[in-house]
Amino acid sequence: MTNISIRIWLVPLALLAIAIALPFVVPKYYVQFASKALLLGMLAMALNLVVGYGGLVSLCHGAFFGIGGYALAMVTPKYDPVSLWWSFPFAVALAGFAALIIGALALRTRGVYFIMVTLAFGEMLFFLFHDNQFAGGSDGAYINNKPEIAIAGRVLLDLDKPLAFYFVVLACLVATIALLTMLVRSPFGHALAAARDNERRARSLGFPIFRLRLIAFVISGAIAGVAGYFSAAQFGFIAPQTLGWHVSATVLVMVLIGGLRSVVGPLVGALVLLGLEEVLKASTEYWKLAEGLIVIAIVLFLPNGVRHLLTAALGERKDESPQDVKAVAKVEHA
Amino acid sequence: MLEASTIVASMRANGLSKQFGGLRAVADVSLDVHQDEIHAVIGPNGAGKSTLINLLSGDMNVTAGSIVLDDRDVTRFGAERRARCGIGRSYQKTTIFQQSTVYENARLAAQAHSKAPLKIFGDVVSDTNVNAATHDALERTGLTSRADTLANQLSHGEQRQLEIAMVLATGPRIILLDEPLAGMGTQEARKIVELIASLRKGHAVLLVEHDMDAVFELADRLTVMQDGKVIATGLPQQVRTDPAVRAAYLGTHDGAPGDAA
Amino acid sequence: MDLATFGVQLLNALQYGMVLFLVASGLTLVFGILGVINLAHGAFYMLGAYLAYGIAAATGSFWLALIGGVAIAFVVGLLLENVFIKRLYGRDHLAQVLLSFGLILVLDEVRQLLFGKDVHSVAPPQGFGGTIQLTDNLSYSVYRLAICVFCLAMAAAIFYVIQRTKIGMIVRAGAENREMTRALGISFDTVNRYVFAVGIAMAALGGIVVSPVSTVFPGMGDSMLILSFVVVVLGGIGSITGAAIGALLIGLTDTFGKVFFPSVSSILIYVLMAAVLLWRPNGILGRREV
């Protein structure tokens, strides 16, 4: 018993130790890159709650991510930092609220309609921020000072320091993994997966499908808002393009690479895709062409993500962890 | 579970109709089913029996008519709300969750009718009430020894048993069974027939079935449908001798016992 | 707003709606028959416009650009179906979304390689460059009128083909009943290939006909894709009539929205979509119960 629990905790703890040690051994540029990658990984994990566990292909999570960032931009004064204590909950609540409204409308539909409706509403938010001056219009908005973590006037952490920022992001990431793992194992998570595998059956058992999915959608949108808040803080800038559906689709690619049936898989997918982009950008001018072809190849030849590639390469048997929701049904067939 | 259990459960359909484009799949059907009774509905293929069950369970909306559960009009309720009012149903095509174990399937059903079916905190395995209801349902359907087997490893008959176990785990008062014996050998069918007979006590059971042996063994009352309409209803012996039934149903569809599809 | 101005706006709405219909009906056809959601549909609209620019610049003839652009798109469609799309039949929506997203990235780079990222304009064909004087100080472009007429003719042709011909019957059978198509002894693969190519060609055709009245720019495919989706959501998926209704509704909403509510005009069509979702989640002509 203890043997098993040690083994289960061994790998995550080792990875966490590596993540903590990382900023002390790599150059500053890579610390910033790591923060960016972890934030996109957080976004991908949030999206996977809806896509992998809920069976709903959403194309508007870029918009929730962007709203988190815009919320920070709008409440940050020009010359002073804003307090994290209230701007953070505000940003998360705003992203969650947007997810509530869009989810309530989009979840009236199924399958391919859901994809089109989420995509359209995501674009609506893009236009809302792009065409109106209240948030900088098409030029985007600047955040001149990173939010401040202070108690009674004393600054606890200076987010301007890449190291401090990295650890705050890492803490949020660990919290996200814990939250999502709990959700997936809870009665709620099992009901969500049941609705994905057989909606009609889940309904006739008495599960309130609409409410179930809406809750998942809002939680997912709120976590996307968390990632967006810190992402905007990191770059000191947020552009309307962040809300656009190309971001959403790119994050979906991360989800597919990492695998749909695991909480941390999409994080791995984010790291893989961003690493790949770095390599491609460094080696060819036409890196988008290469990336497009790679995406197509992944869809055609690796439908179950890189985990399969690893298991195939290592010749290991697929080890299904017991806490994984077991159903492996395909996401909403045509 | 939601209503006081002292009320004797009953379900009544009044003038139920369902229109699919130009086709009237169910036309002005009225019937009722009471606690401690098995009411069987028979009829040739395409008579509208499955549609009738779908209307009663809320899987489909009615075109006309009303459905009353214990003096409460549930016509406008969706499937999930009807389920929470105590209506449980099985499907003609097995709809268990193939990649989950027998126990997980039944637990999911029990969870749907627990106090907090969408609880976010706490592991799914730790709710004692849910676990008790799950054990109970598996015990009654004779699946206890198969609890840890993956559903897709079960024989066809066992899958049908699990289908019924899931209905039982929701603690229903009204049970709608859509061809529970479909595609089953005689040995397996025997078990299910006994299982259904045991459901009579404490439940109101509406049974749609092709197997005439089983129907005449189980049914307290019998309704015959053809082309969406009820052509006869009453005690099994009366219906068996009804000339309209003999002509319209037993004549065309070889009614010899034991020829179930 | 006087009657003449209103008439001009109405024509604008009609012209806009008809082009939208042309593009969106290609999308809805491909989904209805192949069951594939193609996000790269807008990219072909964009490519069509760039092809029109490229061919017209090289040959000096808009008509050659029209024919050549459509032909190239058709052939590319056949090729893509053969290489990529046919592997998507029966795959889940996620795979379809991501494969077509990959296609967009590739097509965007192809456009970059062939035409660069500059904004271009295309001259209307000879004889269509002028305007018609409606009142003393109000005129209307001949070419815009020609677009209306052309698209109406195309719409009539589409309806005729779908409703009246054997090809249309096969196509409708494919949309409603794949088994029946097989029973008719028609190779389903062939139908799929041509339907996909025609769908792509329709998107490109849309891009070509608007190129003289709108600027040709890299992002035009994205906005057209979103609009086509809204059209399909409004009208109901797989329905050509629904696409026509949806496209005209958007043409009217957008054109008159810009006149009456300029500050919120860009989100009005989404408000319209939200309203339709509340009213009929499967679209105006969509089946209510699935």
Per-residue pLDDT tens for A32-75? Answer: 999 999 999 999 999 999 999 999 999 999 999 999 999 999 99
Q: How far is CA C50 from the centre of its chain?
A: 15
Q: Which of C82, C86, C106 to mutate to test the interface with A (most CBs of A within 10 A)?
A: C106
Contact A328, A334 (CB under 8 A): no
Report the run of H or E that residue C281 belongs to, with start and end. none
Using alpha carbons, select from A211, A160, A196, A264 the residue that is nearest to residue A51. Answer: A196
**Rounded to whole angstroms, how far apart are CA atoms A103 and A97?**
10
First-to-final CA distance of chain C:
45
Distance from CA of C9 to the nearest CA of A (A): 22
Residue B23 CB partners (closer than 8 Å, separation 6+): none
Q: Are A160 and A148 in contact (CB under 8 A)?
A: no
Which residues have a Cβ under 8 Å from the Cβ of A3 and sit 6 or more positions away?
none
Closest CA to A167 of A14, A20, A33: A20
Among A34, A65, A97, A12, which Cα is nearest to A252's? A65
Residue linked to tokens 């009820």: B230
* A328 at C interface, C-beta within 8 A: no
Q: Which helix (H) or strand (E) holds A141?
A: strand A141-142
* B53-74 tens-digit pLDDT: 999 999 999 999 999 999 899 9
Q: What pTM was computed for the model? A: 0.90
C104 touches chain A (CB under 8 A): yes
Q: What is the CATH number of the domain that holds B211?
A: 3.40.50.300
Give the three-state DSSP class for A28: helix
Phi, psi of C125 (to 5 degrees): -60, 160
- Nearest CB among A51, A292, A331 relative to C106 is that of A292
Number of domains in chain C: 1
Q: What is the pLDDT of residue A315?
A: 53
pLDDT at res. B260: 38
Per-residue pLDDT at B93: 84
- Give pLDDT, residue A159: 87
Whether pLDDT at B179 is above 90 = yes
Q: What was the pLDDT predicted at C288?
A: 47
pLDDT means per 10 residues, chain C with 290 residues, are: 83 92 92 87 96 93 94 96 88 92 95 91 85 79 90 91 79 61 68 91 95 91 93 86 92 91 85 89 68
Decide if C282 and A109 are in contact by the 8 Å CB cutoff. Answer: yes
Q: Let me know if residue B51 belongs to a domain.
A: yes
For the record, the structure tokens of C76 come out as: 């590319």
β-strand B87-89 against B174-178: which pairing, if any?
A: parallel
Section A107-129 average pLDDT: 92
Transcribe C132-151 into DSSP letters: EEEETTEEEEHHHHHHHHHH
pLDDT confidence of A333, banded at 50, 70, 90? very low
Q: What is the dihedral of CA C42, C44, C50, C51, to 10 degrees?
A: -160
* 3 state SS for C47-89: HHHHHHHHHHHHHCCHHHHHHHHHHHHHHHHHHHHHHCHHHHC
Residue A179 contacts B, CB cutoff 8 Å = no
Contact state of A187 with B57 under an 8 Å Cβ cutoff: no
In this model, does residue B21 exceed pLDDT 90? Answer: no
Quote the pLDDT of residue C174: 59
Residue A149: beta bridge partners?
A157
CA distance C121 to C215: 5
User: Which pLDDT score is estimated for C74?
Assistant: 97
Alpha-carbon Rg for chain B, nearest whole angstrom, is: 18
- Kindly state the tokens that stand for A50: 């809806």
For residue B169, what is the nearest residue in chain A, using CA coordinates?
A: A205
Please tell me which residue, B22 or A268, carries the higher pLDDT value. A268
pLDDT of amino acid C281: 85
User: What dihedral do alpha carbons B183, B186, B188, B190 form, nearest 10°?
Assistant: 120
**What element of type H or E holds A154?**
strand A154-157
Tokens of B134: 């799950």
Encoded tokens for C142: 């001949």
Question: Which segments of chain A does DSSP mark as H helices, in order?
Answer: 2-25, 28-48, 61-75, 84-106, 111-131, 162-185, 187-197, 199-205, 209-235, 245-258, 265-283, 287-301, 306-314
- The owner of tokens 């197509």 is A296
In this prediction, residue A18 carries a pLDDT of 92
Q: What is the mean pLDDT of chain B?
A: 88
Q: Does residue C2 sit in helix, strand or coil?
A: coil
Nearest to A57 among C94, C104, C277 (CB): C94
CB < 8 Å from B in window 303-332 of A: 326-329
Q: Does C226 touch chain A (CB under 8 A)?
A: yes
Structure tokens at B106: 């039944």
- A208 to chain B, any CB pair closer than 8 A? The answer is yes
Tell how far CA B18 is from the center of its chain: 19
B68 beta partners? B12, B73
Is the residue at C142 inside a domain?
yes
Answer whether B108 sits within 8 Å of A204, measured CB to CB: no
Query: Does residue B234 sit within a domain?
Result: yes
Cα–Cα distance for residue pair C239/C21, rounded to 1 Å? 11
Interface of C with A in 236-275 (CB under 8 A): 237, 266-267, 270, 273-274
**Structure token pair of residue B69:** 């559960």
Q: What are phi and psi of B227, to 5 degrees?
A: 50, 40
What would the DSSP string read from start to end of B115-175?
A: S-TT--SS-GGG-HHHHHHHHHHHHHTT-GGGTTSBGGGS-HHHHHHHHHHHHHHT--SEE
Angle (CA) B3-B7-B8 rounded to 5° is: 125
**ipTM surpasses 0.85:** yes
Residue C176 within a domain: yes
Show Cβ contacts of residue C34 under 8 Å, excluding neighbours closer than 6 positions: C85, C89, C192, C195, C196
C92–A334: do the CB atoms touch at under 8 Å?
A: yes
B115 occurs within a structural domain: no
Q: Name residue, tokens 């086709």.
A: B23
What is the arithmetic mean of pLDDT over A78-88? 89
Please tell me the predicted confidence (pLDDT) of residue C289: 42
Minimal C-alpha gap between B242 and chain A (Å): 36
Q: Which two tokens stand for residue A231?
A: 């992402």
Residue C132 lies in a domain: yes
C39 vs A: CB within 8 A: yes
Residues 6+ apart with CB under 8 A from B172: B83, B86, B87, B88, B203
Is pLDDT above 60 for A214? Answer: yes
Q: How far apart are CA C184 and CA C173, in angstroms?
A: 9
Print the domain residue range for B231: 10-86+172-250
Which residues of chain A have a CB within 8 Å of the CB of C273? 117, 120
Strands (DSSP E) contained in chain C are: 131-135, 138-141
B23 within some domain: yes
The answer, yes or no, to whether residue B251 has pLDDT greater than 80, is no
Q: Which of A191, A326, A328 lies nearest to residue B118, judging by beta carbons? A: A191
DSSP secondary structure of chain B: --S-TTSPPEEEEEEEEEEETTEEEEEEEEEEEETTEEEEEE-STTSSHHHHHHHHHTSS--SEEEEEETTEE-TT--HHHHHHTTEEE--SS----TTSBHHHHHHHHHHHTSS-TT--SS-GGG-HHHHHHHHHHHHHTT-GGGTTSBGGGS-HHHHHHHHHHHHHHT--SEEEEE-TTTT--HHHHHHHHHHHHHHTTTSEEEEE-S-HHHHHHH-SEEEEEETTEEEEEE-HHHHHH-HHHIIIIITTTT--TT---
| Chain C touched by A53 (CB under 8 Å) | no
Chain A residue with minimum CA distance to B110 = A205
Residues of the domain holding C138:
9-216
| Neighbouring residues of A11: CB distance < 8 A, sequence distance ≥ 6 | none
Closest CA to A124 of C261, C33, C267, C105: C267
B167 located within any domain: no
CA distance B150 to B187: 22
What pLDDT does B89 receive?
95
Residue C287 lies in a domain: no
Tell me the C-alpha distance between C243 and C121, whole Å. 28
Looking at CA atoms only, how far is residue A116 from chain C in angstroms? 6
Distance from CA of C244 to the nearest CA of A (A): 18
Tokens found for residue B228: 């969406």
CA proximity to B233, closest of B10, B31, B17: B31
Mean pLDDT of chain A: 88
Q: Which among A188, A200, A208 has CB closest to B59?
A: A200
Domain membership of residue C271 (yes or no) is: no
CA distance B228 to C232: 35
Compute and round to an integer the Cα radius of gyration of chain A. 20
Q: Looking at the complex, does the CB of residue A198 fall below 8 Å from at least one CB of chain B? A: yes
Return the structure tokens found at C171: 């196509």
Instruction: In whole angstroms, give the CA distance from residue C195 to residue A236.
Output: 48
**Does any domain span residue B223?**
yes
Shortest distance between the Cα of C262 and any Cα of chain A, in A, equals: 11
* B4 vs A288, residue with greater confidence: A288
Nearest to B57 among A189, A204, A207 (CB): A204
Q: Test A188 with B120 for CB contact under 8 angstroms.
A: yes
Question: Two tokens at C78?
Answer: 């056949």
- On the question of pLDDT at A262 being above 80, the answer is yes
Query: So what's the pLDDT on residue A316?
Result: 45
| Chain B nearest CA to A329, separation (Å) | 8
Distance from CA of B57 to the nearest CA of A (A): 7
- Predicted confidence (pLDDT) at residue A169 exceeds the cutoff of 60: yes
Closest in A120, A286, A330 to C229, CB measured? A120
Does the structure show a pLDDT above 80 at B42? yes
Query: Residue C165 in 3-state DSSP?
Result: coil
- Give the pairing type, strands B87-89 and B37-42: unpaired
Average pLDDT over residues B102-115: 94
Euclidean distance between CA atoms A216 and B118, whole angstroms = 11
